[in-house]
């Protein structure tokens, strides 16, 4: 191993069209010969930024999975100034390799606060601890599959939806779409939608363990005795038996969509107080946009459901549903994610959305074909939208456009939720 050597360094800047775009200058990188700890120094100019880094040899990244054990002015919002520092424990993160002095370089990236890296990680044990990562492979502990990210941490994906016009719903002839016998309208009438804000949404359905860390209790009555799941994997199962009002409260929250207030003793009230961020349920449109991940098919893997059994073999790889679950939930993340890295948006549990339905249309709640911007649901009514199908649903109900609803006080074992955060 070389001793006391310096490593070449370069810098980079995330491009964004904002008045004050952050920039990185003066990047240098050195390694302690004894401990192999790498120190990367840089200056941040013009504006606050969320900082990430990479290490490259011969112009090629060593791989995000080897960027673990990094601390300092990285993976968080950094204020402008000189002498910023990142320490990277290469002996732990890249134990079987040594860096080539001539070919190695550090790449420090400054992401505008308004255009953050794709993944945000909220610590559910220590308050106000938020980190940001460019890829899931960078997450400490081996990445997103580590159970830490299903219990002690909450991982959310940045969804770039601002001003994207897309088609919500499904054609009337698609399997499972219910058509009104009088006017031919459906619950899923295709219509153009535009969202005016980007948003974050949970990579996983919120789990039992995460619910416990926020509320100090488990939400479900399911136990090992009744066979719902084994006690040793309870923490990583989705949080079920939660009503819409369990999540947002019975008083302030009923003002939606006029405002986004929640009761202080509700799940989201406590999560907001703990994190300092206005987390909430997604709107129905946000949910479908995120579930589809750019597709227009019934399933987010690009396939349609058709034939007498709706081709359940096409659904099996991505969803926990009636044909493969014995009507019991599974630990989150056991099936293949969509193209944006979101798991279980189809199957496992139905997921609450913010949208309200009027009592008069709760059974059918037909959609209009008219184009709409930022749909928020009805202003009155006792029903709330749930999306995504569940472990007790047949294949035909586990589609990206399938819609159903429950009274806001319902707390069935088939209903859970996913956390979202609107980007102003």
Mean pLDDT of the chain: 87
The pairing of beta strand 23-31 with beta strand 6-7: antiparallel
**Residue 186, helix vs strand vs coil:** strand
Do 383 and 357 meet the contact criterion of CB atoms below 8 Å apart?
yes
Tokens representing 349 are 């549990």
Tokens representing 295 are 């597709």
Q: Which residues of the chain have pLDDT under 70?
A: 1-19, 101-102, 172-185, 221-232, 306-311, 359-365
Asked if the bond preceding 373 is cis, omega within 30° of 0, the reply is no
pTM: 0.89
Q: CATH for 146-422, among 3.40.50.300, 3.30.565.10, 3.90.1580.10, 3.30.70.890? A: 3.90.1580.10
Tokens representing 405 are 């609803």
pLDDT confidence of residue 172? 66
**Which of 373, 370, 375, 371 lies closest to 403, judged by CA?**
375
pLDDT confidence of residue 386? 94
**pLDDT, tens only, 59-114:** 899 999 899 899 999 999 999 999 999 999 999 988 888 777 667 899 999 999 98
Residue 75 burial by Cβ neighbours in a 10 Å radius (0-12, 13-18, 19+): buried
**Residue 91, helix vs strand vs coil:** helix
Q: Tell me the HSE value of 388 on the side-chain side, using a 13 A CA sphere.
A: 36
pLDDT confidence of residue 224? 45
Tokens representing 176 are 């499972």
**Residue 310, helix vs strand vs coil:** coil
Do 214 and 124 meet the contact criterion of CB atoms below 8 Å apart?
yes
Alpha helices by DSSP H, listed for 169-293, are 208-215, 244-248, 267-275, 284-292
**Residue 362, helix vs strand vs coil:** coil
Q: What is the layout of strands, in order, in the sheet containing 191-195?
A: 164-168, 191-195, 372-373
CA torsion, ordered 202, 23, 107, 133, to nearest 10 deg? -10
Do 388 and 345 meet the contact criterion of CB atoms below 8 Å apart?
yes
pLDDT confidence of residue 313? 82
- Residue ranges per structural domain of the chain: 6-119, 146-422
SS3 content of the chain, % helix, strand, coil (to 5): 15, 25, 55
**Residue 136, helix vs strand vs coil:** helix
Tell me the C-alpha distance between 161 and 156, whole Å: 15
């Amino acid at each position: 191993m070389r001793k006391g050597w310096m490593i070449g360094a370069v810098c980079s800047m995330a491009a964004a069209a904002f008045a004050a775009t952050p920039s990185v200058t003066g990047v240098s990188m050195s390694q302690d010969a004894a401990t192999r700890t790498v120190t990367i120094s840089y200056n941040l100019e013009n504006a606050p930024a969320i900082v990430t880094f990479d290490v490259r040899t011969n112009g090629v990244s060593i791989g995000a999975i080897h960027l673990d054990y990094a601390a300092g002015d990285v993976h968080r919002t950094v204020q402008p100034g000189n002498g910023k520092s990142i320490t990277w424990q290469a002996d732990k993160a890249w134990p079987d390799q040594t860096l080539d002095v001539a070919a190695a370089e550090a790449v420090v990236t400054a992401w505008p606060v308004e255009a953050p890296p794709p993944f945000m990680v909220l610590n559910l044990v220590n308050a106000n601890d938020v980190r940001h990562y460019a890829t899931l492979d960078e997450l400490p502990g081996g990445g997103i599959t580590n159970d830490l990210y299903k219990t002690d941490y909450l991982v959310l994906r940045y969804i770039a939806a601002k001003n994207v016009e897309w088609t919500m719903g499904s054609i009337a002839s698609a399997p499972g779409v219910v058509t009104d016998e009088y006017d031919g309208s459906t619950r899923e009438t295709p219509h153009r939608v535009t969202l005016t804000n980007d948003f974050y949404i949970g990579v996983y359905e919120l789990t039992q363990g995460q619910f416990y860390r926020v509320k100090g209790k488990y939400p479900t009555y399911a136990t090992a005795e009744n066979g719902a799941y084994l006690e040793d994997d309870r923490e990583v199962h989705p949080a079920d038996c939660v009503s819409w009002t369990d999540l947002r409260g019975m008083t302030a929250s009923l003002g939606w969509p006029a405002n986004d207030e929640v009761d202080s003793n509700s799940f989201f009230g406590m999560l907001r107080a703990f994190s300092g961020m206005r987390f909430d349920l997604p709107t129905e449109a946000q949910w479908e946009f995120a579930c589809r991940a750019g597709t227009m098919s019934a399933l987010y893997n690009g396939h349609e459901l058709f034939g007498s059994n709706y081709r359940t073999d096409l659904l099996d790889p991505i969803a926990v549903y009636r044909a493969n679950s014995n009507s019991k939930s599974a630990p989150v993340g056991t099936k293949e994610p969509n193209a944006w890295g979101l798991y279980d948006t189809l199957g496992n549990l139905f997921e609450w959305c913010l949208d309200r339905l009027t009592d008069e249309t709760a059974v059918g709640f037909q959609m209009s074909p008219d184009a709409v911007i930022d749909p928020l649901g009805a202003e009155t009514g006792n029903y709330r939208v749930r999306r995504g199908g569940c472990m007790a649903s047949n294949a035909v109900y586990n589609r990206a456009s399938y819609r159903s609803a429950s009274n806001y006080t319902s707390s069935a074992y088939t209903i859970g939720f996913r956390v979202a955060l609107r980007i102003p």
